[in-house]
Chain A
Amino acid sequence: AIQLTQSPSSLSASVGDRVTITCRASQGFNNALAWYQQKLGKAPKLLIYDAFNLESGVPSRFSGSGSGTDFTLTISSLQPDDFATYYCHQFYSFPITFGQGTRLEIK
């Protein structure tokens, strides 16, 4: 199984900060990766699909990049609504796996 390791596991930041979350895969693959945002008690919400495509309705401050074993989610200017937990997810091979999550907190 492909293991996804996110870093950092938690992050404190301020409104307006630029934030980058990394997802490292145990083996390389193409762009078969997605990023989700999850708020407490809610289902995950798709932000980025196929590694770098912005899902419809998602603010343009979110962006994704990477290929091979290293992928990143960047939030260019944090807004109050962005404080949540973020997960990467690979669908390149079965079993499908998720990263362990990055909790983004207000500094």
Chain B
Amino acid sequence: QVQLVESGGGVVQPGRSLRLSCAASGFTFSSHGMHWVRQAPGKGPEWVAVISHDGTKKYYADSVKGRLTISRDNSKNTLYLQMSSLGTEDTAVYYCAKDRRVEASNLDYWGQGIQVTVSS
């Protein structure tokens, strides 16, 4: 069955960096777009970024452009989110999610989420 397992979260000071990983299994990773979606406490989901199945296309929310970078390693079935210049507004649960298609469409599987807290 499809499994998505996030790791790398934690507490980080403002201005610092963090890298999240998402280990995927149970499907052909290289055939699907992958997303990061975050959710701040008490808020709805906020889409962060998507990467196409082959890694050639990447799109970002305006709120993270230039600070967060999505990437993937299809040989390792792993998705990444490199986060830099973090601010308190980045505090949220971060989910990786599998797309039904090769780029951006419906999100049919989600990880359990990982907490990122930006605080001094």
Q: Which residue of A lies closest to B103 (CB)?
A: A91
Q: Is the CB of A95 within 8 A of B61?
A: yes
- Chain A nearest Cβ from B99, distance in angstroms: 9
**Given A43-B112, A43-B113, A89-B107 contact (CB < 8 Å):** yes
Q: Give the complex CA separation of A34 and B108 in angstroms.
A: 10
Given A32-B105, A91-B105 in contact, is the A100-B44 Cβ separation under 8 Å? yes
Report the interface size for chain A: residues with CB under 8 A from the other chain. Answer: 24
- Judge if A50 is at the interface, Cβ distance under 8 Å: yes
Among B61, B95, B107, B112, the residue within 8 A (CB) of A46 is B107
A to B contact number (C-beta, < 8 Å): 61
Contact call B44/A87, Cβ cutoff below 8 A: yes
In whole angstroms, how far apart are the Cα atoms of A1 and B58 in the complex? 17
Task: Determine if A95 and B107 form an interchain contact, defined as CB atoms under 8 angstroms apart.
Answer: no
Known: A87-B45, A101-B44. A96 touches B104 (CB 8 A): yes
CB–CB B104/A91 < 8 A: yes
In the complex, the answer to whether B100 meets A94 with C-beta atoms within 8 Å is: no
For A33, give the chain B residue with the smallest CB separation: B106
Q: Are B100 and A49 in touch, CB under 8 angstroms?
A: yes
Among A32, A55, A95, A98, contact of B108 (Cβ-Cβ < 8 Å): A55
Alpha-carbon separation in the docked complex, A89 to B110 (Å): 14
**Chain B nearest CB, measured from A81 CB (Å):** 18
| CB atoms of A49 and B44 under 8 A apart | no
Shortest distance in angstroms between A12's beta carbon and chain B's nearest beta carbon?
20
Which residues of chain B have a CB within 8 Å of any CB of chain A?
Answer: 35, 44-47, 50, 59-62, 95, 97, 100, 104-113
- The interface of chain A, by Cβ under 8 A from chain B, is 1, 32, 34, 36, 38, 43-46, 49-50, 55, 85, 87, 89, 91, 94-101
